[in-house]
Structure 1
Amino acid sequence: KDPAAILDSNSRWTEELRQWPSLRFALETAWLDYAHGGVHTLYNNAFVKGTQAIPINGLVWMNTLEHMQAQIEDKLKQGYQCLKLKIGHHDFAAELELLERLRDRFSVKELMIRVDANGAYQKENVYPMLEALAKLDVHSIEQPVAAGQSDVMSDLCEHSPLPIALDEELIKHSLLEEKSEVLHQLKPAYLVLKPSLHGGMMGCKEWIELATQQNIGWWMTSYLESSIGLNAIAQFTCEYSTSIFHGLGTGQIYTHTIPSPLEVQTGQLTYHPMKKWGSPLDLS
């Protein structure tokens, strides 16, 4: 069954839920799963068949610098070729030193480095920071300044020496016209899309189509979903290009989630069709 047709048949509800993306995403997942027999297959594509893995970035959470370094070493041992570091919590010089040590060990061909500032920087001091990061061949920076400063963000997207990726900036824009307008105004290099925040799967589909029209790159990211949500995002992602690194490793943070065929191996999210799903009863 065509997933798009299934969601279109429920378009009345999805339209009414534009302002509640997490609920919209949950219902989309339930509808698609039910339509395919309740076996956790939403999109019958190469990922769910086990023939296509999705390359993902290893996420280094904000913590003490020592713990962040330990996370880096752990991710490298696991075979990740792309690391995304949360920055903006510590003194910038200390964080820059952490990144410099990492880049000294691995060339840009060996390791992609992304950073996410979560809006931590101010317009008065952000450019010197971006210039320092650009010298390390950092791939991109997510949300360098807080969302809602369209003039500042537009200037950054145009003049930054480092590609800008938008995340929180997209959340409040749920209508198609609004999405088109914000992309035309800001012209970012990348979008970081999360179904739970950016309109469910149908909402992300709109973002992807608009980004493609404007030659804007994008990648998918999970947002603390359980194995159920991560499975849905991964299958949706594989409907598009899987050549770029996506942010689909956060499902690993849970020790109490429904057992699934999802597995991270050498920096790739994989699906093992021969492995059975567990049930909510397994959590009791």
Structure 2
Amino acid sequence: MNKKPDNTVKVNAKYLRHTLDFKFDAGTSRGVLRTKDSFFIKVTFPGDSKMEGWGEAGPLPKLSIDDVPNFENILKAYVNGLSEKEIDWSEAGILEFCKTYVMDAHPSIRFAFEMALLDLFHGGKRQILENDFYRQHMPIPINGLIWMGDESFMLKQIEEKLELGFSCIKMKIGAIDFKQECRLLGFIRERFTAEQITLRVDANGAFSPHEAMDKLERLAEFDLHSIEQPIKAGQWDELKRLCKESPLDIALDEELIGIYAKEDRKKLLEHINPQYIILKPTLVGGIRDTREWIWLAENMGVGWWMTSALESNIGLNAISQLTASYDIYMPQGLGTGQLYKNNVASPLEIVSGNILYNPSTDWGKI
């Protein structure tokens, strides 16, 4: 029951809550994660429940601006109100509708509606956009993520990622002793040069402004590609200074959260002038808003890469397809699909440091 692109349609929506269980204690600078709630949205055409479009709203605890106590009630109101709305049935029309229907304050919900409606638009086959990742099974290079923990736990992860053939490793830092973290980086560099293994680190704002430069200079000794968010978000002048003087390239991550207007996004990039930005659609407002960030960055000569935000395979599939709609020139942060014991079974696979879509594997039941 696919509709012509110039039609205006109405759809029905439902949602269900799913608690994802981590395979291990996932350490971050904001604490340890053992579970994560996601809300799956299903959209269908009235009178035809066989074709389904699915999306995922999964705000990150203590980070997303829509990580609020009444999140489920807010989501329920959007879901219940959707059947009353008319949607221009085209990709552009769907993205425009979601931008106006879901407030800026609820970025993960907007992304979920974009996913679900675009999935339905393409026939309910988990295709979100026209892209070679879905149609041509194009592999996307990704980094292997090393979670925070004690030194032995992190070393074990590093060895596993190297054995699996990753050429880019990203290590979260800022939770254990800095000297121990440097030893772990040194362990990799003793075995592999920067040409063999690309190293990234993510501080999640763990450094104070007065100590940041000393630590950046120490980290630069390990031939790192970049560091994400060395100091907490909101300190534009300090970040500007660090981006200008640091021997290590800096990527903004948390800094992008809560910046809604295009002119404010442009102002942030112009003021701080970072080397890179990190884009998490769940946090910055979904597909359309992510595209706006990319357009601004590329026009200013700022590099970027995409990162998932602990979504299930439903959200990860959408982010991978969005990523594949651009010319990819560096590893992306799309390796989170293997974190959970009870993820939704999917055609997404990680092979030799790449994520790909295997059409011979079916999607599991949601």
Does TM, normalized by the shorter one, top 0.5? yes
Q: Structure 1: how far apart are the matches of 2:157 and 2:322?
A: 28
* Residue aligning to 1:181: 267
* Residue aligning to 1:25: 111
Matched, 1:96 2:188: no
**Number of matched residues?**
280
Instruction: Render the CA deviation track for 1:35-82: whole Å, top value 9, x for unaligned.
Output: 011110112321112431000000000011110000000111111000
Greater share of residues in helix: 1
* Residue aligning to 1:228: 314
* Residue aligning to 1:6: 91
Distance 1:184-1:271 versus aligned 2 partners, 3 A rule = same
Specify which structure has the bigger relative contact order, considering alpha-carbon pairs within 8 angstroms and separated by 6 or more residues: 1
Structure 1 unaligned spans of 5+? none
8 Å contact from structure 2 (residues 94, 118) kept in 1: no
- What is the SS of the residue equivalent to 1:219? strand
* Residue aligning to 2:158: 72
Matched, 1:194 2:280: yes
Q: 1:106 aligns with which of 181, 192, 213?
A: 192
**127-136 or 10-19: bigger deviation:** 10-19
Structure exhibiting the larger radius of gyration computed from Cα positions? 2
8 Å contact from structure 2 (residues 281, 287) kept in 1: yes
Q: 2:247 aligns with which of 161, 179, 200?
A: 161
- What is the SS of the residue equivalent to 1:73? helix
Q: Structure 2: how far apart are the matches of 1:123 and 1:102?
A: 27
Instruction: Render the CA deviation track for 1:119-170: whole Å, top value 9, x for unaligned.
Output: 0001111111111111211000000001111111111111111000000011
Instruction: Render the CA deviation track for 1:250-275: whole Å, top value 9, x for unaligned.
Output: 11101212211100001000101222
Report the TM-score when normalising by structure 2.
0.74
Q: 2:303 aligns with which of 194, 202, 217?
A: 217
Structure 2 unaligned spans of 5+? 6-88
- What is the SS of the residue equivalent to 1:206? helix
**Identity over the aligned pairs, expressed in percent?**
46
Q: How does 1:33-72 map to 2 (within 5 A)?
A: 33-72=119-158
Report the TM-score when normalising by structure 1.
0.95
- What is the SS of the residue equivalent to 1:197? helix
Matched, 1:152 2:241: no
